[in-house]
């Protein structure tokens, strides 16, 4: 596991459908070796009706990707 992957740093996706996209890390799950990158791997999530959202809706949010598929943007430039 890469120790230079931390919350808040800029990373580049190096593998998969989102290869080449950049974003900041929002969350790191070291147990499952996954990271949540801002504006990468967006999925649509259906929300139930609630007091805050009386109609219910479809919300786009980030999904996690494997930590091996990202590289710090500083290292990617070299």
What is the rounded distance in angstroms from the CA atom of residue 4 to the CA atom of residue 52? 39
Read off the CATH number of the domain in which 57 is found.
2.30.30.30
Q: Is residue 18 part of a domain?
A: yes
Q: Is residue 5 part of a domain?
A: no
Three-class secondary structure of residue 70 per DSSP = strand
What is the rounded distance in angstroms from the CA atom of residue 47 to the CA atom of residue 2? 34
User: Residue 78: is its pLDDT beyond 90?
Assistant: no
Instruction: Check residue 53 and give its pLDDT.
Output: 87
Instruction: Check residue 52 and give its pLDDT.
Output: 87
Q: List the domain range (segments joined by +) for residue 59.
A: 10-76
Instruction: Check residue 74 and give its pLDDT.
Output: 82
Residues 22-69: pLDDT tens digits? 999 999 999 999 999 999 999 999 999 999 889 999 999 999 999 999
Question: Domain tally for the chain?
Answer: 1
Strand runs (DSSP E) across 1-78, as ranges?
Answer: 10-13, 22-29, 34-37, 42-47, 57-62, 65-66, 70-72
Among 60, 70, 58, 59, which residue's Cα sits nearest to residue 29?
Answer: 70
């Amino acid at each position: 596991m890469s120790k230079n992957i931390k919350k808040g740093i800029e990373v580049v996706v190096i593998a998969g459908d989102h290869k080449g996209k950049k974003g900041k890390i929002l969350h790191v799950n070291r147990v499952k070796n996954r990271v949540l990158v801002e504006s990468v791997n967006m999925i649509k999530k259906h929300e139930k009706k609630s007091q805050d959202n009386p109609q219910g809706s479809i919300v786009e949010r980030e999904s996690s990707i494997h930590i091996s598929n990202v590289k710090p943007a500083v290292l990617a430039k070299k």
